[in-house]
Structure 1
Amino acid sequence: MMSEDKIAAAARLLSEARTPGQALETFPTDLAPDDEAEALAMHERVVTARGPVVAWKVGAPTPAAEPGYGMIADATFSVGPTRIPAGALRLWAVEAEIAVTLGQDLPDRAEPYAQDEVLAAVKDWRAAIEVLDTAFVNWASTPGLWRLADGMSHGALIVGPPCGLPSGALATLPVTLEIGGETIFAHEGGNTGGDPARLLTALANLRRGTARPLRAGDVVTTGSATPFHRASGGQAVRAYFDGLEAAELTIEP
């Protein structure tokens, strides 16, 4: 049985350790999540304390792996060119991603959703920048369950203008990530989870049997198409794909 007191205490600790709080140097053993379900309960508490859930992140380490996902609150989501002060986040690791906006609910039902059903519910496609952040001093050594509990290392999500479905295979869509006017990554594909449509469908089915399935208006970002790269104050970040207009972020000094 998961302990409500433990979940609440862990969520409070993680929330207080985010900027401008004091980052955690250790992983408290008494509050460590015992399994993925407990980590996800902590995660949900951390995210919903920031505001209503309006977006989701999903990804996987390989094209065959079961995807993991996270929630995103309205406080860390923005559309169009966005400016964020450098002091608002700690890690400033940025990634280029493909996101969608749903135009239809994907409610609870007995049978799993097929990929064509999920794609039919997509209203538009967008380039996105996800900024990773952390409650911990050493993010690289943070255990996976703690990362999940800590908002799945989410800091901010910025999406570009709405576009139609890009032509060509989503898994190999050319992508460019620019930081400070310099091209950091430019390649075809790169999503470790493979086809974004697979990841989107998996998320719809993972949430299908919950009290909060995917809804019309939700934005889903489908995993990084580039390795993350650290950015810093004073730099502009742009991410775009063939057929998708750029997502743009300025980190204010």
Structure 2
Amino acid sequence: MTSSELSVRAPKVAEAARLLIEARASRQPIQAPPPELAPADEAEAWAIHEAVVASLGPVVAWKTGAPTPEAEPGMGLITADTVRPSPAAVAADAFLLGAVEAEIAVTLGRDLGPRAEPYSPEEVLDAVRTWHAAIEVLDTAFADWAATPAVWRIADRQSHGLLVLGAGAAERPSVPLARLPVVLTIDGETAFAHEGGNTGGDPVRLLTHLANARRGSGRPLMAGDVVTTGSTTPFLRAAPGQRVRAIFEGLPEAELTISPA
């Protein structure tokens, strides 16, 4: 959006952001969002997303992903208060949704700052300091997450709730990331086990797209940022008392316990 469009839409953006923040904080889901606050397009949804995040703290991580290997990836901002080292524990009533996904994440060792020329995949990989198994917990401000329109999900922090990072490995896994074996366990029992599984295809494509999408912005990717590259496992809601582990070949595992409320 242009600066003049942002100015015109600012009251709507602020009110929509307030609605989302209050729903998550109170654990009172939105049954039917007011039609007048619905994002008119992805640009307005992103403006709401940024307004929500600005109220929550500094951005230290990003999420990216895509529904197919050919689709343009999306992105989301992640604040410091929702990033935890593994093993982590969280109360079941901390989330309205509480779905868990196994993901491959990275921590950057140098900036991928502003420049005119796009970054190549090799340059992006060279900027990675450590590789991580991760668990993302999805959350929502809405009573019916599955029926929530895509623009509202973008506005609602791309459904981000929590990111649990396994210890970092300096070496990239030897198996191509698009085929990296993954196992997600619940209380020691295998829930999913397969090779690859990321709907967006190769995580390198997703990382590179994000770096280039942000390189001309006021907040590009920076050294120390974490980027998680999308789910490699199907949608699964974790129950109170369960212990979830994400295991990728060649990486230290990530673990999350859902404590009873």
* TM-score using structure 1 length: 0.98
Q: 1:86 Cα shift?
A: 0.9
Unaligned runs of 5+ in 2: none
Per-residue CA distance 1:172-204 (angstroms, 9 max, x = gap)? 100000112221000000001000010000000
**1:34-183 to 2 correspondences below 5 Å:** 34-163=40-169, 164-183=171-190
Select between 40-49 and 138-147 the one with higher mean Cα deviation: 40-49
Aligned CA RMSD, in angstroms, stands at: 0.8
Quote the Cα distance in structure 1 between the aligned partners of 2:205 and 2:164: 22
Quote the Cα distance in structure 2 between the aligned partners of 1:28 and 1:106: 39
The residue identity in structure 2 corresponding to 1:177 is L
Q: 1:12 Cα shift?
A: 0.5
Per-residue CA distance 1:66-121 (angstroms, 9 max, x = gap)? 10000000011111211111111111100000000000000011111111000000
Select between 197-206 and 25-34 the one with higher mean Cα deviation: 25-34
Matched residue pairs, number?
A: 253
1:212 corresponds, among 216, 219, 236, to 219
Quote the Cα distance in structure 2 between the aligned partners of 1:18 and 1:143: 17
Quote the Cα distance in structure 2 between the aligned partners of 1:250 and 1:47: 25
Question: Identity percentage over the alignment?
Answer: 63
Select between 14-23 and 133-142 the one with higher mean Cα deviation: 14-23
Q: 1:51 Cα shift?
A: 1.0
Residue 231 of structure 2 corresponds to residue 224 of structure 1:
yes
* TM-score using structure 2 length: 0.95
Q: 1:19 Cα shift?
A: 4.5
Q: 1:4 Cα shift?
A: 0.9
2:124–2:211 CA contact under 8 A, matched in 1: yes
Local SS of the residue matching 1:50: coil
Shift >3 Å, 4+ stretches: none
Quote the Cα distance in structure 2 between the aligned partners of 1:137 and 1:19: 14
Quote the Cα distance in structure 2 between the aligned partners of 1:142 and 1:47: 20
Unaligned runs of 5+ in 1: none
Per-residue CA distance 1:214-238 (angstroms, 9 max, x = gap)? 0000000001011120101111110
Quote the Cα distance in structure 2 between the aligned partners of 1:240 and 1:106: 28
1:244 corresponds, among 226, 238, 251, to 251
Quote the Cα distance in structure 2 between the aligned partners of 1:179 and 1:18: 26
Local SS of the residue matching 2:37: coil
Q: 1:46 Cα shift?
A: 1.1
Q: What residue in structure 2 maps to residue 201 of structure 1?
A: 208
1:80–1:247 CA contact under 8 A, matched in 2: yes
Quote the Cα distance in structure 2 between the aligned partners of 1:226 and 1:62: 14
Q: 1:144 Cα shift?
A: 0.1
Quote the Cα distance in structure 1 between the aligned partners of 2:99 and 2:42: 24
Q: 1:20 Cα shift?
A: 3.0
